[in-house]
Chains A and B, each alone.
Chain A
């Protein structure tokens, strides 16, 4: 078996642009799904009854449907309903956000419910409002406890952005497919891209674990 890495060297800019887009999409998806997930998580815990039912249904549905299915549905089916076609990047961002936000919401709920009841009661006893208790007592401690779970959500999100390749978002996975197809060197291309993805995801998860190790004591109660 002879290996030839020259197609990769020739098209490194093409691959690098894909890596850039993967990073942009990952960061955007993480930020959006955390914002949406926080809203959904809090709404599921403190919202009115009908909203809770709705949000539980949404969360469990997202746990049941593959992100691949969500992406192709948004990209191919939504334009038929709405009459407007999406840019693939936005379709991917929306799809991944809708999917990951459900998991973020679950993590937030688990984090908040893990704080002992006495803490809430203490807050109420000194006259704090419900919103104040959530903001000043529950969330600060819960956030620390949620860090390891958030770490794995970030890593899952980066991995999910690769699925955007199936709706032709020119991110790393898609660019790799293109180069592999044009050069007939799939083994070299995909192996190299494997290394790139690993170097991207592994340090991120390690960094979050390390950070958690530093602040874990703040989450104890």
Chain B
């Protein structure tokens, strides 16, 4: 599973659960807290969908360390491999 696929999955899940995004185009550098309309509970929901898709478990303490979408993609890429 390459990073592009994980990125695409992440974006589609974010768009499904947070349709009112403040930024139209989401990139690896998009900052989750300030450039999307995803709040902390919504973000956990997105993470849980990604966990299910990639059959991994991300510790709660790790979730609070994610800043950008790229951070999430890279972490999953490392874990899933």
Question: A and B, one complex?
Answer: no
Interface residues in chain B, defined as those with a beta carbon under 8 Å from any beta carbon in chain A: none
